[in-house]
Chains A and B, each alone.
Chain A
């Protein structure tokens, strides 16, 4: 069956919680577990039999990093990959609606839509099989997972019939508890979805025509899949949820990039054992899952006695002897199997929330200082210790 995949990569105005990591490289290309964030998505899509084309959709201006990535990804995964640039931020539904002809070209009978800022096992094949068993060739499938009662309120909540897995109710970020099953941001659609999105589009247009055009940025074409489409489809017999127990996490903040890294590195022992560093005589001591880029060198004389914990060290940064660079991990509670990473705000009660320390690119940390729970913007040369601060 001919299939396509669309990966929603957003644009520079979105994903600002990922700063300063996203200053140098667009967020979807930021390396997680050694490879660009969306490469994990592309690899999973390319493995599905019948995948005809992978479309990256967003509103970034064309840039070198993105183009280079597309070229090399095409070569590696042997599947056509294109970037479709939205002319404005059209929401999670507006973009695919705008490009519906491109998506359906070549006779695609079904297509996946994946958010770029999630990390997952991507059980795409399983979603296809599930649809065959539970729905029919016209059903839509949302990938769902279980969260704990408190954190579920931060996501799209799905109430489903326990036997048929049909979605009966959908609410995006409710203020009271609705369900522990949450939306993973990975969907399987058929061409019929565009009919439903089209209805939303018509409704929007009518509403706008009635309103005075005071706010010029209201566009009929901005359509949110979650609030506008899924909420309406719930209970109609067309929407199903496939629940997975595999690993899943959002990647909204810089701290979550470290957690996502860990989840993927864990998976590497089965999927890409060659990517995990091995202990070699004379080499650095490797404990647990570690990825070392082929061009990186861990030199005992160059990294004299430093201690770097829970930190993202940007490209070309240097850390002096005996320096200590430390952040606070924001990992979910390991005792709760359904706990998800908190997408904490940067400040709480006027103080910087302790989180991962980030050194932007080309940051210089002098010898013997301590940098604790701080964010250092790119190209900064520090001269003393800092704690709990943002250094511009």
Chain B
């Protein structure tokens, strides 16, 4: 089977992290986001994945070559020279996608969930329609595009974008499977799949919705990245508890790379991810954070709801909270207070940031 991942452009919402790496290569729970998706696709029988990018990155290409070898899967890049929206890239990659005549998957690169690709394929073949998409229940559907469908068959009746009154609590989760025939509907021009293609397919009764089991999150911005991390770690506790860290000073769900070092008298967790080669010195308290590869957190510091970028150095007695994000190689001096600071790469912070702001 084939799959297309809509990677898009610069990933500006996840800056400052995406100033140093292409978004698919940012590690989510100690594994590149893209890798979570590739592994799930391969497990469902996909042998060829197309990455639809609007910004070509050498780093991404090199990483893909490496994963090709490792996963035994074919990966090609489809580079759109002008923005083609959410449907246009399918047309651009039509040769690969239609090649074997089988249905192909399409997914948003920002989506993290318990990928149900095999179940989705079965659901799709069963109803015989042109396309299926995955929906998930959310508490505040008005923030998203809402899907209205028949309860028994899952056939989609209509889409309502950001409804003002309650219509349904199911939203488009950004995972699809289509028959190659759909490519007839899409031209090579900027096209929105939600606004143009899906409504037409729904009207023709050709679009079905499968409800997602388990957690779902769009991790395209730091706040949601952290929320998604908490959900992922919780699912990990249920399915593979042996992968989580335990020991003195560990509270709740904590994921620690084997090469990381944690000092004495620390209290780590709940909901913490510690990346490769990270050093956490003595007496540190970390809650609800992601610490990326090579960073160092010095003693007596206190971190909550932060993302610490690659190779950062956080000083002693520092307090960081409220979705503070440190880009790559940021140095935070001792005894400072960072509240919602968004710090660009290679900066040195010598003064506290008592109220949320961006440090360039």
Binding site for B on A (CB under 8 A): 304-305, 307, 309, 321-322, 324, 326, 368, 370, 372, 387
- Assuming A305-B302, A307-B317, A324-B302, is B337 touching A368 (CB within 8 A)? no
Contact with A along B278-290 (1 / 0, CB 8 A): 0000011100000
How many A-B residue contacts, CB cutoff 8 Å?
Answer: 33
Question: What are the nearest 5 A-B pairs in CB distance?
Answer: A305-B300, A307-B317, A322-B302, A324-B319, A305-B283
Q: A307-B319, A372-B354 are in contact. Are A326 and B337 (CB under 8 A)?
A: yes
Query: Knowing that A307-B300, A322-B302, A326-B337 are A-B contacts, what are 19 other residue pairs whose CB atoms are under 8 Å apart, sorted by A's residue number?
Result: A304-B265, A305-B285, A305-B299, A305-B301, A305-B302, A305-B317, A307-B319, A307-B335, A321-B285, A322-B285, A322-B300, A324-B302, A324-B319, A324-B337, A368-B285, A368-B302, A368-B304, A370-B337, A387-B354
Instruction: Give the docked Cα–Cα distance between A322 and B321 (Å).
Output: 13
Name, among A304, A305, A372, the residue most crowded by chain B CB atoms within 10 Å (CB to CB): A305
Measured between beta carbons, the chain B residues less than 8 angstroms from A372 are 337, 354
Report chain A residues within 8 Å CB of B304.
368
Name the distance in Å between A370's Cβ and chain B's nearest Cβ: 6
Q: Interface of B with A (CB < 8 Å)?
A: 265, 283-285, 299-302, 304, 317, 319, 321, 335, 337, 352, 354
Closest CB-CB distance, B68 to chain A, in whole Å? Answer: 46
**For residue B303, which residue of chain A has the nearest CB?**
A322
B337 cross-chain contacts in A, Cβ below 8 A: 324, 326, 370, 372
**A372 CA / B319 CA spacing, docked (Å):** 12
| Cα-based distance from A155 to B354 in the complex (angstroms) | 34
Most chain B CB atoms below 10 A, which of A307, A321, A368, A372: A307
Please name all residues of chain B whose beta carbon is closer than 8 Å to the beta carbon of A322 when the two chains form the complex. 285, 300, 302
**Chain A residues, CB < 8 A from B352:** 326
**How many angstroms from the CA of A324 to the CA of B265 in the assembled complex?**
18
Interface centre among B283, B285, B319 (most CB of A within 10 A): B319
> Given the complex of chains A and B, what is the CA–CA distance between A372 and B338 in angstroms?
12
Q: Which residue of A lies closest to B318 (CB)?
A: A307
Distance of A110 from chain B, by nearest CB (Å): 50
Q: How far is the CA of A305 from the CA of B301 in the complex (A)?
A: 7
Inter-chain CA distance A370–B340, complex, in Å, is 14
List the B side residues contacting A387 at CB < 8 Å: 354
Q: A309, B335: Cβ atoms under 8 Å?
A: yes
- Shortest A69–chain B CB gap in Å is 36
Closest CB in chain B relative to A99 CB, distance in Å: 50
| Set of chain B residues within 8 Å of A324, measured between Cβ atoms | 302, 319, 337
* CB-defined contacts of B335 to chain A, threshold 8 Å: 307, 309
Interfacial chain B residues near A309, Cβ < 8 Å: 335
- Chain A residues with CB under 8 A of B354: 372, 387
Contact present for B285 and A370 (CB under 8 Å):
no
Task: Tell me which residues across on chain B come within 8 A of A368, comparing CB atoms.
Answer: 285, 302, 304
Taking the closest CB of chain A, its distance from the CB of B348, in whole angstroms, is: 20
- Distance between B65 CB and nearest chain A CB, rounded to angstroms: 45
* CB of B234, distance to nearest CB on chain A (Å): 22
Q: What is the bound-complex CA distance between A225 and B317, given in angstroms? A: 50
| 14 contacting pairs across A/B (C-beta < 8 A) | A304-B283, A305-B283, A305-B300, A305-B301, A307-B300, A307-B317, A307-B319, A307-B335, A309-B335, A321-B285, A322-B302, A370-B337, A372-B354, A387-B354
Nearest-Cβ distance from residue A75 to partner chain B, whole angstroms: 41
Task: Give complex CA distance A322, B285 in Å.
Answer: 8
Q: How far is the CA of A322 from the CA of B299 in the complex (A)?
A: 11
How distant is B355 from chain A, measured CB to nearest CB, in Å? 9
Nearest neighbor of B283 in chain A, beta-carbon distance: A305
Chain A residues whose C-beta falls within 8 Å of the C-beta of B299 in the assembled complex? 305
